[in-house]
Structure 1
Amino acid sequence: MSSTFGSLSTALTGLNAARQGSAVTGQNVANAGTEGYTRQRIQTSAIGATAQTGLFAGGPTAGQGVSIDAISRLGDSFLDTRVRATASDAGYAAARAEALLKLEDIMQEPGENGLSAKLQDVWAAWQNVANDAGEAAPASVLLEEAGALAAQLSHGYAQIEAQWSAGRTQLDSLAEELNAAAAQVAELNGEIRSALNAGSPANELMDKRNLLTASIASLAGGEVRDAGDGTLEILIGGNAIVSADSFRPVQLTGGYRMQDAAAAPVQLEWAHRPGSPIALAGGTIAGALSVLAPAATNGAGGEVAEAAASYNAFAGQLATAVNSVHRTGQTPAGTTGHDFFAFRPQLPPALGLTIVPADISGIAAGAPGSGGRDGSVADAISQIGVAAGSPDGVWASFVTKLAVTARTDIQRSELAAAANASAVNMQLSSASVDLDEESVNLLTYQHAYQANARVMTAIDEMLNVLINQTGLVGR
């Protein structure tokens, strides 16, 4: 302590440190419920004594108080990275699981409203026609059941088209959300860098940026790198979408109808470099793009387009199988070579399947020359469902494949969501505010404040005696 008055300065530094600690603690308590807030602490260090020189220098000397070095943000970068990684996986898996669940809802398999049940009703109606050949009632039931099957097929295909278009529109919204988050991160990078350069704390800005980086990871995966100057660089597909205080926007390209996907597949591109798709490693956008990919000849395309292709394949095989037998039979008028199913031109097979006969006169139930009561051809058609390579088998194979894929993706989504929840909980346990701990800290700072104030009071009283009562002896 360099002088009597210097002790006041020493106590003042302690007073200021205690007041600042109380303020930070109060801020922590006030933001205990704020999303993304990371608790803070003041960092202090002792101010050493002034150097002494001269002949009589030496011996222990008192320090000059306490210095407030910084207000630290008690976050864990490792846990932040883990949250982003698990958010990327969870976003990807959730997007796929949601799309596959919608496809299962459209098919309604197994169930009385599924195509399998409708198909069995059609085969049963053909058998009834075979048993009562030449009768109008069984023929009417057959036409009704066949029409219901065609309507169910058309309705299912239309729902798949609607799901694809809705998913495509949603992708535009996700791309806009990604651009908005990236722009905010770039802006915050600039503000944080300026604040740090000016010696001001930027902890609240970092909290907000941390939430945005997690949002970007959930949307498009990517990697976050610390630039060392307070800014973050965010990369997706190996290229920076955010670098310092600038960002590169992305855009969705491709058609808005499922039938246009083969010629113009939906993909995410850099706005400044069109035609170059971004290879996303995860996130909701990547998951949505994977299910909206065009169908492939090997069946490994996007699940929505593959479902539509399976509907078309089923419609085509059903018409081919039934028509090939129906052409060999004769109608009540004795004519042959007639189709039972046909397709409307310029429409997908599943959407354009129609029934050719309008009544019993167009149904070829018997073999040529066998008379009007023969139902052998109708009986042969009724057995198509149990033959090798039947439409029933084709449909069952597709339903099984989709069910297995959906179950796998749903389980993956559940596991990814659990992993993300665990990572978030670990992050919160490290960074969130503990009210009990803050209460203890607040008491500590209050007592420190009172102690320093008492030191100042004692020094004041001592100086008062020295200044105002010295030399008053005997009075």
Structure 2
Amino acid sequence: MSGLFGTLNIGKSGLFSNQKVINTISHNIANANTEGYSRQRAELQTTRPYSNPSLNSSAEAGQVGTGVQVSQITRIRDTFLDYQVREELGIDGWYSGRDKFLTEIEGVFNEPSETGLSSLISKFFSSWQELSKQSETSNARTVVAEQSQALTNELNHTYNKLESIKENAQDLIKQTVFEANKILDQITQLNQEIIQVSVAKNNPNDLMDRRDLLLDQLSSKFGITIDKKIFNGINVSTKKDADANTPEGINLIQDINPDDVARLGYVSNIEPVLDASGKPTGNYNIEYYKNGDITNDANRVVVKDVALSKEEFMELDQCRVVWTDKEGKLLKSDGKSQDPTAGTPPTYPSATSIVKFTPSSGEFKGYMSVQEDVDKYIDQLNKLAKSIAYSVNAVHGQTADATKDDCLFFVNKDKATAAGEAEITAGNISINKDIIKDVMLIKTGKDGGGESDGTRALAIAQLMDKLMEVQKIKEDTDRKSFINDLCGNANFGDATKVIGTINGKTSGMKVNNYFKDVVDALGVQTQQAKRMVKNQFVLLQSFEEARASVSGVSLDEEMANLVQFQHSYQANSKIIATVDELLDVVINGLKR
């Protein structure tokens, strides 16, 4: 179209296009403080021109422009910066989770301090030293009993607090499972909406911003891999953990088959199966909740008689998360799902039928690794308790064999008999009730050695400086194997001739030094976690600032653009007004 009407159409296109640009600028300003919002830009391009008609087209070169149009509204986003931010969010979530609980564990041990375990161990042996000097008095014996009870109470308390920390970590895992599944469901829905809008040749900018924000939140919980597909769709899968023997790339979001994806289930209970005599069979009943949703009992699933080794049980207990399909059926190692409630009775033959969730980073890895640390510290605390109980009981009972004792000093308070030492741990170690009732039962010297004989009390006091292989104690280690194999057994023979004691081993360590090594290792771990959290904060902040400089809204820039396109809008309005005057001359002026 040429002439005044063509010019009028060009002015109209400029008016409408600038109006769309101003609308986009207004949208940017309105969302300047919206989390996850990416700055949008209206792309202007010329409309299709036409050639002037003439008898000889080659004689008149060029084409006549027809105006301007908004080709698309795009969002300004750097995918590489998104990748970097999500990588660092995963590492930050990992060490933030560790720092949270390792700091709490440090508070439980409370070392070094006047009231910590290290101080109580020293006071315990010092009380025996004083008793060796005043063996005939009941006061010194009472001090030994009280110091011993203070030590066992602190061991019990520390053990119970560590168990409580582990339960808290499991509660956080349960909540994170629920949150992660909700985020995955939201991303799935947004992914389908984005694809539908893109198929219609529109840019779903705001929907993609919401999806990217959810992906950021998901990456802070565990490592993910994102694959871009056509029509702005994405596939999301898990990132492979180099130390885990799990299938690589479990699908969480799919653009083509959105329902053929995996979800997380929370293992709420792992109960051992007992035989007719009440002994563990080595199998376990595993209870988990679909999507981690424990509010509805319909989501509860019990997998019966799963054969687990000790290592497999520990891994599942520390992990507490299993892979399921979208319906809540357990995934197997081949990626296929199987209904654990199928069959009569419903059973799973082995742990290989259950795929544990082993994240490469994120909050999940932090919480799971802390549980592993807590189990390690509980085990070390049990070794400490066993070493003290076995060594003191051996000297106090004058034998390396617990079956021949007439009066144990330390006992397992959970056993039916007060004199039971079997399965003693930091959680159940206690003073023999008979000794608490009558402190004169504490043996201080050789049998028949007289009231002033303190040789036995001195031998017990000297245990503090004996080198014992505490680190080699196992769950099934009894007193006899501990004394004979780990302490360098000396003479536990005739009590009337010599007080039985231990020689010690050069490969061992003192009891107090062993505990200090445990505390030192905890301190190093905690400092590492704090250092990583601090470093990640700085690094993540720099990446987020770089992303904000690209995708963030600058009010100064938007206001400058607003003024620019306001003038452009007014200029196009002036063109239309001018053409209107010219048309008035052509149409109405010809009447005169």
TM-score (normalised: structure 2): 0.74
- The aligned counterpart of 1:242 is 253
- The aligned counterpart of 1:145 is 147
**Is 1:468 aligned with 2:584?**
no
Aligned-pair CA distance for 1:130? 1.2
Asked if 2 retains the 8 angstrom alpha-carbon contact of 1:326 and 1:337, the reply is no
Aligned-pair CA distance for 1:398? 1.5
Q: Helix, strand or coil: the match of 1:372?
A: coil
**Is 1:262 aligned with 2:262?**
no
Aligned-pair CA distance for 1:106? 0.9
- The aligned counterpart of 1:455 is 575
Return closer, same or farther for 1:261/1:350 CA change in 2, 3 Å cut-off.
farther
Of the three residues 407, 415, 419, the one matched with 1:338 is: 407
Asked if 1 retains the 8 angstrom alpha-carbon contact of 2:90 and 2:363, the reply is yes
Asked if 2 retains the 8 angstrom alpha-carbon contact of 1:344 and 1:352, the reply is yes
Question: How far apart are the structure 2 equivalents of 1:36 and 1:468?
Answer: 57
Unaligned 5+ segments in structure 2 are: 241-248, 273-309, 326-330, 333-353, 400-404, 416-422, 469-509
**Is 1:276 aligned with 2:361?**
no
Asked if 2 retains the 8 angstrom alpha-carbon contact of 1:164 and 1:257, the reply is no
Aligned-pair CA distance for 1:416? 2.3
- The aligned counterpart of 1:332 is none
Asked if 2 retains the 8 angstrom alpha-carbon contact of 1:169 and 1:256, the reply is no
Q: Helix, strand or coil: the match of 1:219?
A: coil
- The aligned counterpart of 1:14 is 14
Q: What are the within-5 Å matches in structure 2 for residues 417-456 of structure 1?
A: 417-456=537-576
AA of the residue aligned to 1:393: N
Structure 1 window deviating more from structure 2 (249-258 vs 404-413): it is 249-258
Q: CA RMSD in A?
A: 2.2
Kindly, what percent of the aligned residue pairs are identical? 26
Return closer, same or farther for 1:261/1:96 CA change in 2, 3 Å cut-off.
farther
AA of the residue aligned to 1:130: S
Aligned-pair CA distance for 1:48? 4.1
Question: How far apart are the structure 2 equivalents of 1:264 and 1:77?
Answer: 36
**Is 1:55 aligned with 2:55?**
yes
Question: How far apart are the structure 2 equivalents of 1:158 and 1:372?
Answer: 40
TM-score (normalised: structure 1): 0.91
Of the three residues 375, 379, 382, the one matched with 1:312 is: 382
Asked if 2 retains the 8 angstrom alpha-carbon contact of 1:323 and 1:341, the reply is yes
Deviations 1:106-138 (A, max 9, x none): 111111221001111111211121121111111
Of the three residues 456, 467, 482, the one matched with 1:377 is: 456
- The aligned counterpart of 1:353 is 429
AA of the residue aligned to 1:16: F
- The aligned counterpart of 2:184 is 182
AA of the residue aligned to 1:451: A
Deviations 1:152-194 (A, max 9, x none): 1001101111111121122111111111111111100111111
Deviations 1:5-27 (A, max 9, x none): 12111111110111111111011
Question: How far apart are the structure 2 equivalents of 1:256 and 1:270?
Answer: 16
Deviations 1:316-367 (A, max 9, x none): 00001111221239xxxxxx85321111346761111111212332111112
Question: How far apart are the structure 2 equivalents of 1:364 and 1:261?
Answer: 43
Asked if 1 retains the 8 angstrom alpha-carbon contact of 2:41 and 2:74, the reply is yes
Unaligned 5+ segments in structure 1 are: 293-301, 330-335
Of the three residues 286, 292, 301, the one matched with 2:365 is: 286
Question: How far apart are the structure 1 equivalents of 2:315 and 2:547?
Answer: 45
- The aligned counterpart of 1:205 is 207
Structure 1 window deviating more from structure 2 (26-35 vs 378-387): it is 378-387
- The aligned counterpart of 1:224 is 226
Structure 1 window deviating more from structure 2 (455-464 vs 256-265): it is 256-265
Question: How far apart are the structure 1 equivalents of 2:21 and 2:190?
Answer: 26
Aligned-pair CA distance for 1:149? 0.7
Q: Helix, strand or coil: the match of 1:350?
A: coil
Q: What are the within-5 Å matches in structure 2 for residues 61-100 of structure 1?
A: 61-100=63-102
Deviations 1:43-91 (A, max 9, x none): 0111242133442431444310002100010011111111111111111
Aligned-pair CA distance for 1:448? 0.5
Aligned-pair CA distance for 1:464? 0.4
Question: How far apart are the structure 1 equivalents of 2:49 and 2:545?
Answer: 45
Question: How far apart are the structure 2 equivalents of 1:278 and 1:262?
Answer: 14
Deviations 1:417-455 (A, max 9, x none): 322222112111211100110011000110000000000
- The aligned counterpart of 1:39 is 39
Question: How far apart are the structure 1 equivalents of 2:561 and 2:316?
Answer: 61
Q: Helix, strand or coil: the match of 1:255?
A: strand
Asked if 2 retains the 8 angstrom alpha-carbon contact of 1:43 and 1:69, the reply is yes
